[in-house]
Amino acid sequence: MQGVVKAEPVQGVRLSRDLSEPVPESGEVVVEVAATSVCGTDLELYEWSESAQGFDPKLPFVMGHECAGTVVAVGPGVDGVSVGDRVAAESHIFCGRCYLCRTGKAHNCERLRVLGITFDGAFAELVKLPASVCFRLPESISPEIGALFEPAGVAVHALQRAGSVAGCDVLVSGCGPIGLVVVQLALLFGASKVFAAEPNAFRRELAANLGAITLDPTEQSMDEVLQHMDGGHGVEVAFETSGARQALPWLLDAVARESRIVTVGHPGQPVPLDVAAYINKKGVVLTGVFGRRIWDTWEILSHLVVSGRLDLSWLITHRLDLAEFEKGMQLLRRGESGKIIVYPK
Ligand SMILES: [Zn+2]
Ligand SMILES: [Zn+2]
């Protein structure tokens, strides 16, 4: 079968046409991949950036961690997932036995493996998965939208972590796909105004289409930005979804006293933080998310999409074959895309 393989610790990937087909072992299933989507992390892995190396991947591996498809084989001891089931994959492969798994925090398992990074992924015709990470898709959800559940779930988790945004002014820094879904969810969950800061004009327009008040942090000074916010006191809730190193210091100035910041993007390097000024005196509650809560994030997202309250289809701007993977990387690098769907067959 064919698949996109990260083989060398340098820029680039290899499209391999002779990968051996996975065979499910105990507790595992094999899924025929119907749709995958490309993530910023895939570009980091492609570039072999510091952020990518921070995941400690073991080369070579098949990339791709956002996918949906149909179960075509089931290994021994699998319960609750059958051949023919349409599923999306949770990319955080958890052990189910460690302290974190046993206390409802499986997304941050002590023995965490990540699909398409430390476990062969889904930019391939077939992917092998533990049955425990399969989420059965409702009838009305297409594989393309199913593949978006993984990244959109991160946005849902960020909102879960932030607590109520009802009646709050919200600022989202970075309008990549996750930031855009955060904008959409914040408005859906009752934010009074959502400001979206993004240097890329294409992405700013996507945020504006969702109803955000857009800002260019490279063009507008902090004073100008604060003018837009009621009374200039700053926003009550902010989300850092860009991963840019300069974003968090910028956000810490933009938020109100006693506000909440949730960070989602991974800066490739440490970011300095003045604890006395911002955490103690300004009273900012700073927290982050990694992955999705298993399975409440998935259930919330599924309910929102099935009910028609949350439409994710607008997010898909490009559809490519596996052989066009490099083109997907170029689109992503230029920031001229929403979500890129890749079809492995
Ligand atoms: Zn991702
Ligand atoms: Zn665990």
What CATH number should be reported for the domain holding residue 212? 3.40.50.720
Q: Are residues 164 and 136 in the same domain?
A: no
Q: Is residue 183 part of a domain?
A: yes
Q: Are residues 131 and 267 in the same domain?
A: no
User: What is the whole-number distance in angstroms between the Cα of residue 291 and the centre of ligand 1?
Assistant: 9
User: What is the whole-number distance in angstroms between the Cα of residue 101 and the centre of ligand 2?
Assistant: 4
Q: Are residues 77 and 206 in the same domain?
A: no
pLDDT at 4: 98
Q: Is residue 276 part of a domain?
A: yes
User: What is the whole-number distance in angstroms between the Cα of residue 22 and the centre of ligand 2?
Assistant: 24
| Residues 6 or more apart whose Cβ sits within 8 Å of residue 80 | 131
Ligand nearest to the CA of 55: 1
Ligand nearest to the CA of 176: 1
User: What is the whole-number distance in angstroms between the Cα of residue 37 and the centre of ligand 1?
Assistant: 9
Q: Is residue 307 part of a domain?
A: no
What proportions of the chain, in percent to the nearest 5, are helix, strand and coil? Answer: 35, 25, 40
**β-bridge partners, 36:** 67, 342
Q: Are residues 17 and 125 in the same domain?
A: yes
Report which residue type is found at 159: L
Domain count, the chain: 2
- Ion ligand 2 neighbours, Cβ < 5 Å: 94-95, 98, 101, 109
Ligand nearest to the CA of 101: 2
User: What is the whole-number distance in angstroms between the Cα of residue 65 and the centre of ligand 1?
Assistant: 6
Whole-model pTM over 0.85: yes
Q: Are residues 144 and 168 in the same domain?
A: no
Paired tokens of 164: 């109520």
Q: Are residues 163 and 275 in the same domain?
A: yes
3-state secondary structure of 344: coil
User: How many CA atoms, within 13 angstroms, populate the side-chain half-sphere of residue 96?
Assistant: 7
Q: Where are the beta strands (DSSP E) in 46-138?
A: 61-62, 67-74, 86-89, 92-93, 113-114, 126-130, 134-136
Where on the phi/psi map is residue 269: left (φ > 0), alpha (ψ -120 to 50), or beta?
beta
Q: Are residues 168 and 123 in the same domain?
A: no
User: What is the whole-number distance in angstroms between the Cα of residue 213 and the centre of ligand 1?
Assistant: 26
User: What is the whole-number distance in angstroms between the Cα of residue 290 and the centre of ligand 1?
Assistant: 10
Q: Is residue 339 part of a domain?
A: yes
Q: Are residues 261 and 335 in the same domain?
A: no
Residues of the chain with pLDDT below 50 are none
Q: Is residue 296 part of a domain?
A: no
pLDDT at 24: 98
Ligand nearest to the CA of 109: 2
Ligand nearest to the CA of 151: 1
User: What is the whole-number distance in angstroms between the Cα of residue 292 and the centre of ligand 1?
Assistant: 11
3-state secondary structure of 148: coil
Q: Are residues 24 and 82 in the same domain?
A: yes
Q: Are residues 199 and 100 in the same domain?
A: no
Q: Are residues 250 and 268 in the same domain?
A: yes
CA angle 86, 92, 94 (to 5 degrees): 100
Ligand nearest to the CA of 93: 2
CA angle 30, 32, 36 (to 5 degrees): 115
Q: Are residues 15 and 140 in the same domain?
A: yes
User: What is the whole-number distance in angstroms between the Cα of residue 219 and the centre of ligand 2?
Assistant: 45
Q: Is residue 46 part of a domain?
A: yes
Q: Which domain holds residue 56?
A: 3-148+312-343
Ligand nearest to the CA of 67: 1
**β-bridge partners, 340:** 318
pLDDT at 336: 87
pLDDT at 231: 67
pLDDT at 229: 72
Paired tokens of 94: 């958890």
Q: How far is CA 9 from the centre of its chain?
A: 24
Asked if residue 87 lies in contact with residue 138, where contact means CB atoms within 8 angstroms, the answer is: no
